[in-house]
Amino acid sequence: MSTTYCTIPFDTRMNMYNTLVMPYFNYCSTVWGNISKGLSDKIQKLQNRAARILTFSNCETCSSILSDELGWESLENKRFKQLAMIMYRIHLSPSWLKQIFINTSDVKAHNLRNSKINCYGSLHNRGSVLWNKNPLDIRHLPSLKLFKTR
């Protein structure tokens, strides 16, 4: 039995992953990002499988080691950061847009038993909670670049 080796350079394989696969993980992730732990784990397993394919690693190789090698963070962490950046941009936006995200405690005060919409997982609520957890010095940084690094 002969073994075939991939002749595609690693940089090309990474470019293929970044252009053909990664957009599916990132597209509108701030909207659908409030998924269950089970679904989040399934999506993460797809990224782990991609890491194994890119590095020609077997199933026994620890996915966290591969992610570190490739410089990847977990998809959950990426969704968290993307939501934080959206909230930063909203903070810099006109006051009418900011008003949508003020006083999220009002959402919790309503009786939502008969509601068909779950407001607790909405972008509005998740984003507001995340924003309020940031210290004031981080919220008031002068640029998105600084905000990302902090």
Task: Report residue 46 as tokens.
Answer: 């797809």
pLDDT of residue 117: 47
Query: 60 is in which domain, residue-wise?
Result: 10-72
C-alpha pair distances (Å), 11 with each of 61, 86, 120: 21, 30, 42
Query: Among residues 72, 89, 105, which one ends one of the domains?
Result: 72
Q: Taking the CB of residue 52, how many other CB atoms lie within 10 A of it?
A: 16
pLDDT band at 46 (very low <50, low <70, confident <90, very high): very high
Number of folded domains that form the chain: 2
Task: Categorize the per-residue pLDDT at 135 as very low, low, confident or very high, splitting at 50, 70 and 90.
Answer: confident
Q: Maximum CA pair distance of the chain?
A: 68
- Kindly indicate the confidence band of residue 22, based on its pLDDT and cuts at 50, 70 and 90: very high
pTM: 0.71
pLDDT at 4 over 60: no
pLDDT in tens, 92-123: 888 877 777 655 444 444 445 554 444 556 77
- The answer to whether residues 42 and 89 belong to one domain is no
What is the mean predicted confidence (pLDDT) over 42-53?
A: 94
Q: What is the pLDDT of residue 43?
A: 93
Cβ contact 122:104 at 8 Å: no
Query: What's the pLDDT at 85?
Result: 87
Assess if residue 121 is contained within a domain.
Answer: yes
Q: Is residue 3 part of a domain?
A: no
Last residue of a domain, one of 25, 51, 72: 72
Q: Look at residues 72, 91, 122 and tell me which one is the last residue of a structural domain.
A: 72
Question: What pLDDT is recorded for position 41?
Answer: 94
Same domain, 86 and 46: no
Output the pLDDT for position 121: 60
